[in-house]
Amino acid sequence: MQESIAQLKAEIEAFEISSKESLEAYRLKYLVRRGVIAELFDQIKSVPKDEKPKIGKLLNELKQLAEAKFETAKTRFEQSVESAPEIDLTLPGRRFFLGSEHPVQKVLGDMKRIFFAMGFSEATGPEIELDDYNFTKLNFPDDHPARDMQDTFFIRKGDGEDVVLRTHTSPVQIRAMLAQKPPLRLIMPGKVYRNEAVSARSLCVFHQLEGLYVDRGVSFADLKATLYSFAKQMFGGDVRLRFRPSFFPFTEPSAEVDITCYLCGGKGCRVCKQSGWLEILGCGMVHPNVLRNCGIDPDEFSGYAWGMGIERATLLRYGIADIRYLLENDVRMLEQFE
């Protein structure tokens, strides 16, 4: 018996408690009611009477040793948990940045919804465009100043098949009319490029939304009604429009359209330069030459068209002072449109 106790003592002293798992294994082996030490206590019955006090004392010492070792190891593990990095639950949570629609895309989305509801469909064309579609078929004379290097970014020039970055979305009209027979009722949004000095009012890349309706008996009155309906839905029921005679090579007659200033409602202020009006688009009746260039007989069909700047409309709608804010990608600006 004495020998078993000594052996067990050596075993306990040698037992390495290096983890919570080994601590538990230690406990199950030595300290539980059916453990090896408890077993020895049971055997005390069979020990001769005169040896009982001595064996009892040794067993008690063994038990205390085993328990003391357990307690020391246990506190060691508890302390190591406490020294783990503390979580401060009062700290504000980490903020996740969600992307949001760019204001220009928002405005474009609204424009599309309004025109789709009026029966228009969407068409698109390439940003790298034939000079022929960007200018010639739109009835620009060969010496028109808009072809000048100052306004147009040329991709290829001088070999008879000039290629440009389109300066407006109007060439998509040509592509549509070459591809489809009337009736045509299309909106054509997209990016356009101009070799212009960047300022608070102009960028060298921006978006336009082109409109085209070609059918039998289309009149300027149809154009006005369509644009009025659009403007009221887009900018509010109180808005008024003003058609000013103008000139574009691809329309005749042509007009520029102003809406009442968003800031002063037409009274005159800093934004509208005291006029009460802000220009939003150019429009007109499709020039007979343009129809002819696309194989459409101008004696049978007529059409109207318009082109408007989407950035421009975005500035008007949200009262943004500088067009460059729209391209700077400053989240402090973009966040306001979440």
Contact residues for ligand DAH (CB under 6 A)? 168, 170, 210, 248, 251, 282-284, 305-307
Report the nearest approach of ligand DAH to the CB of residue 173 (Å).
7
Distance, in Å, from the CA atom of 230 to the CA atom of 157, rounded to the nearest integer, reads: 39
Q: Which is nearer to ligand DAH, 55 or 167 (CB)?
A: 167
Report the nearest approach of ligand DAH to the CB of residue 212 (Å).
7
Q: Which is nearer to ligand DAH, 67 or 215 (CB)?
A: 215
**Residue in the block written with tokens 């070609």:** 214
Q: Which is nearer to ligand DAH, 60 or 199 (CB)?
A: 199
- Do residues 334 and 102 touch, judged by C-beta distance below 8 A? yes
Report the nearest approach of ligand DAH to the CB of residue 210 (Å).
5
Q: Which is nearer to ligand DAH, 12 or 286 (CB)?
A: 286
Report the nearest approach of ligand DAH to the CB of residue 91 (Å).
54
| Strand, helix or coil for residue 34 | coil
State how beta strands 154-156 and 277-286 pair.
unpaired
Tokens of 36: 């090896």
Q: Which is nearer to ligand DAH, 110 or 256 (CB)?
A: 256
Q: Which is nearer to ligand DAH, 230 or 248 (CB)?
A: 248
Report the nearest approach of ligand DAH to the CB of residue 90 (Å).
57
Q: Which is nearer to ligand DAH, 25 or 198 (CB)?
A: 198
Distance, in Å, from the CA atom of 226 to the CA atom of 129, rounded to the nearest integer, reads: 29
Tokens of 41: 């206590």
Q: How many CB atoms lie within 10 A of CB 53?
A: 10
Report the nearest approach of ligand DAH to the CB of residue 248 (Å).
4
Tell me the sheet residues that pair with 306.
211, 283
- Do residues 286 and 304 touch, judged by C-beta distance below 8 A? yes
Report the nearest approach of ligand DAH to the CB of residue 226 (Å).
12
Distance, in Å, from the CA atom of 216 to the CA atom of 211, rounded to the nearest integer, reads: 17
Q: Which is nearer to ligand DAH, 251 or 260 (CB)?
A: 251
* Chain position whose Cβ is nearest to ligand DAH: 307
Q: How far is CA 93 from CA 87, 88, 90, 100, 338, in A?
A: 12, 10, 9, 21, 20
* Cis status of the peptide bond prior to 245, with omega within 30 of 0: no
Distance, in Å, from the CA atom of 221 to the CA atom of 239, rounded to the nearest integer, reads: 18
Distance, in Å, from the CA atom of 13 to the CA atom of 78, rounded to the nearest integer, reads: 21
Given 3-state DSSP classes, what are the helix, strand and coil percentages for the chain, each rounded to the nearest 5?
Answer: 45, 20, 35
Q: Which is nearer to ligand DAH, 8 or 174 (CB)?
A: 174
DSSP 326: G
Report the nearest approach of ligand DAH to the CB of residue 146 (Å).
9
Distance, in Å, from the CA atom of 184 to the CA atom of 177, rounded to the nearest integer, reads: 8
Question: Quick one: angle between helices 52-82 and 36-43, nearest 10?
Answer: 170
Report the nearest approach of ligand DAH to the CB of residue 170 (Å).
4
